[in-house]
Structure 1
Amino acid sequence: MTEEQPMPGKAIYDVFFENGEVRPNFRKEYISLWSGWLGKERLHLLDDVSKEEWLRFNQMLLAAFKGFRMGVVNHSAGIVEFPTRLEPFLSDHQESMRKDASQFSQFVIPALGCMITEEWDYTYIFWHRDIGALEAIKPLLSEARLQHFSD
């Protein structure tokens, strides 16, 4: 397809998901306030996260939305939707703390072949198939003062 005719939302959804789960050929990179897993000895840091620190995730998502065509995953319809504004899909700190896993947001950047998903404990997952997508997103993480690491 040409740039003038982007893939429809269902076709994009099928690139990233199979039976509602992320396809197994994607690798994970964790996006967090910290450079690695906290472990039991540093778990208390979760309780000390400020509203301003938490907002770094929204800052990163808004920068990605500004820099790339970014869609929002709609699992119930099995499509990726491309809103004109991202703000309605972002949570504030209190809303985020009250969410259960079924309410976590998932965002797709088709041009990079990657996805950013909201997860637990001040962590998002960056799903990608090649290092080029990670390299493209690193400046956004740095600008938002977020860290990334893998298992």
Structure 2
Amino acid sequence: MGDALRSLSAKSLIAGDRIIDINGVPVSDKDVARDLLLKSLQKTKKVSCIVERACSDDAIALANAALLASELQPPSVAMASDIRDIVARQREKMNKGPAGGLKKGGIMRKGGANPTGNMKVQVVEEKKEHIIASDNEGKALKKVAANAK
């Protein structure tokens, strides 16, 4: 027997139903609905809901299509506010490009000095330190010894 058939709501609700009101409070999303349901059940051990149900064949088809579309979408993850700030700063930096908007030349060139197509890559070992984007802005970092593992 499936979990849906063992549920307390299996007798009253079917797939595609939409809870629009719980104990006189309008429901805007599933988090609000969950909170209202839990609080009411914990406090009074009962809940009163207004449920919207599709009746016509067209409405049922639309409800099923909406359910299928939501199943196919990847789950959304709510980011914390500090993470959103970090992501916004990083997007700005990436939109500006390297060196504040100046485009750097690549190491692979077509034409120019070697037009035959034999591309040669030259690795220069001058720079030993590379800045990697992270959320440590404004914080002092510790240097790591060259022989550290």
With the length of structure 2 as denominator, give the TM-score of the two structures. Answer: 0.21
Q: Which has the larger radius of gyration?
A: 2
More strand by share: 1
